């Protein structure tokens, strides 16, 4: 039995080794043929030629974008302002438009701002981008931002100026403003778990910064036959990395403590019950936020789908907050491992309440269009009397079509069965 297992393992490594050798040999043969035929020598690759080709490609892409946006029935913008390595403010402008149910999403412009970045400055850049693309302000439906004050200030911010611009054209038109879920802002100002993130980052950096430490830690995990084979870095610009790193460090808590003791590295927080309780809470709440973020990712997501996901998340926050107040940890699996005190639970309940309030603020404009969202998600059951006057007759035709109604019901049942399985 043992001999058969050993032969199987040896065969696995042999196959893997053979596969790698074959891939390497293939790449060498292709490189040899390219060099032999001098293919690249026949292509002009001077600095001016490469520069000109890049400019031509960029010009062609811009021309394609102009042609695409010209037919937009409606469009929305996503704005992100951040500084590059030279501390120059960069404003990224993304456009999403719809034409005959075809959705287009593209990077419209990147504007470098070397001076001030007030709401007026940002508005000038956005206005110039819209004019360059030939977009019409009266077709702008919504704006999503990263939530920074220069963009969101209700008096002199960019969004206030954009709403004023739209109102000049159509007094009845109201833009829908949404603000990005900025995980690090939520963790720092709302959840107040920066002290947990800082220590976890210090632990990970201690293990990964030096190659020797990293190798020795991996060897320790192999010795203990740990479920995890390594520990990853936390990348600040990636949404999902924080939750994953917190979870991985929590799972490897015992191995990390043993390794740090052997290396003479003192991390007192790992023995602090209060800090460990905060750590467990951070693991659970970031996992919950990562779940939402994963569902919100991807192209072609409609507003009613996003609204349902955000609404469900906010309801979960309220539910979990009530459960923590009543000392119920059924859905907080990590926190359950440390048996937190009543004071801890009251504080965590308050944090979840604050997080709910922050999400409510960032998505407050969704409440103003809930009726329209309901019409889009449930057109066959929506009351015609409550529908906008320009779609009432069309909605009657839709609800009277038995074939479409049957197809809609069948699709819903199929989705429900898929979800349940």
The conformation of residue 331, written as its DSSP 8-state character, comes to T
Q: Of 53-62, 157-166, 300-309, 348-357, where does the model show the most confidence?
A: 348-357
Parallel, antiparallel or unpaired: strands 176-179 and 89-99: unpaired
Residues present in the chain in total: 421
Whether pTM > 0.75 for this model: the answer is: no
For the chain, give the mean pLDDT: 80
Given pLDDT bands bounded at 50, 70 and 90, which one contains residue 341? very high
Q: How many CA atoms lie within 13 A of 165 on its CB side?
A: 19
Parallel, antiparallel or unpaired: strands 140-145 and 74-83: parallel
CA 297, 302, 306 angle in degrees (round to 5)? 60
Given pLDDT bands bounded at 50, 70 and 90, which one contains residue 216? low
Dihedral sign for Cα 318, 320, 324, 326, please. positive
CA distance 81 to 93: 9
In this predicted structure, what is the pLDDT of residue 15? Answer: 47
Q: What is the pLDDT of residues 190-209, one digit of tens each?
A: 888 889 888 888 888 878 77
In this predicted structure, what is the pLDDT of residue 237? Answer: 41
CA distance 94 to 79: 6
In this predicted structure, what is the pLDDT of residue 191? Answer: 84
User: Domain extents for the chain?
Assistant: 66-180, 185-365, 378-420
Q: What is the mean pLDDT of residues 344-354?
A: 94
CA distance 299 to 48: 37
Higher local confidence (pLDDT), 115 or 94:
94
335-to-111, 149, 186, 208 alpha-carbon distances in Å: 45, 34, 19, 27
Tokens representing residue 14 in the block: 């042999």
Given pLDDT bands bounded at 50, 70 and 90, which one contains residue 283? very high
Contacts 24+ apart (CB under 8 A), 130-139: 133/65, 133/66, 133/69, 133/95, 133/108, 134/66, 134/69, 134/70, 135/69, 135/72, 135/75, 135/95, 137/165, 137/166, 137/169, 138/166, 138/169, 138/170, 138/173, 139/72, 139/73, 139/74, 139/75
Q: Considering only the top CATH level, what class is 66-180?
A: alpha beta
Q: Facing residues of 110 across strands?
A: 92
Angle at which helix 253-262 crosses helix 194-208, to 10 degrees, equals 60
């Amino acid at each position: 039995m043992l001999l058969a297992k050993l032969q199987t393992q040896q065969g696995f490594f042999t196959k893997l080794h053979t596969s790698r050798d074959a891939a390497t040999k293939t790449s060498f043969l292709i490189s040899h043929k390219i060099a032999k035929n001098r293919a690249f020598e026949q292509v002009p690759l001077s600095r001016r030629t490469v520069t000109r080709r890049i400019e031509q490609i960029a010009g062609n892409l811009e021309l394609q974008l102009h042609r695409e946006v010209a037919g937009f029935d409606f469009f929305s913008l996503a704005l992100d302002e951040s500084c590059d390595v030279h501390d120059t403010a960069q404003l990224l402008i993304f456009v999403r438009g719809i034409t005959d149910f075809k959705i287009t999403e593209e990077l419209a412009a990147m504007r470098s701002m070397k001076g001030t970045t007030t709401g007026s400055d940002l508005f000038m850049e956005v206005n110039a981008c819209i004019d360059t693309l030939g977009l019409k302000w009266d077709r702008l439906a919504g704006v999503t931002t990263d939530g920074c004050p220069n963009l969101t200030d209700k008096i002199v911010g960019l969004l206030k100026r954009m709403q004023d611009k739209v109102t000049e054209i159509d007094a009845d038109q109201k833009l829908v403003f949404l603000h990005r879920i900025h995980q690090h802002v939520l963790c720092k100002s709302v959840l107040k778990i920066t002290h947990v993130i800082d220590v976890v980052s210090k632990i990970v950096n201690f293990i990964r910064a030096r190659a020797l430490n990293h190798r020795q830690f991996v060897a320790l995990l192999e010795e203990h036959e740990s479920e995890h084979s390594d520990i990853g870095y936390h990348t600040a610009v990636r949404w999902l990395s924080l939750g994953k790193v917190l979870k991985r460090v929590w799972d490897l808590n015992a191995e990390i403590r043993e390794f740090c003791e052997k290396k003479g590295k003192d991390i007192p927080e790992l023995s602090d019950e209060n800090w460990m309780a905060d750590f467990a809470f951070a693991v659970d709440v970031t996992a919950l936020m990562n779940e939402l973020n994963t569902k919100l990712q991807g192209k072609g997501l409609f507003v009613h789908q996003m609204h349902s996901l955000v609404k469900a998340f906010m309801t979960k926050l309220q539910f979990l907050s009530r459960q923590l107040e009543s000392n119920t940890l059924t859905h907080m699996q990590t926190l359950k491992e440390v048996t937190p005190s009543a004071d801890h639970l009251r504080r965590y309940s308050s944090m979840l309440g604050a997080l709910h309030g922050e999400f409510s603020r960032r998505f407050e404009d969704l409440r103003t269009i809930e009726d329209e969202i309901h019409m889009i998600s449930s057109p066959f059951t929506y009351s015609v009397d409550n529908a906008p006057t320009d779609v009432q007759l069309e909605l009657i035709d839709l609800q009277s079509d038995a074939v479409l109604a049957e197809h809609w019901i069948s699709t819903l049942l199929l989705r429900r069965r898929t979800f349940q399985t």
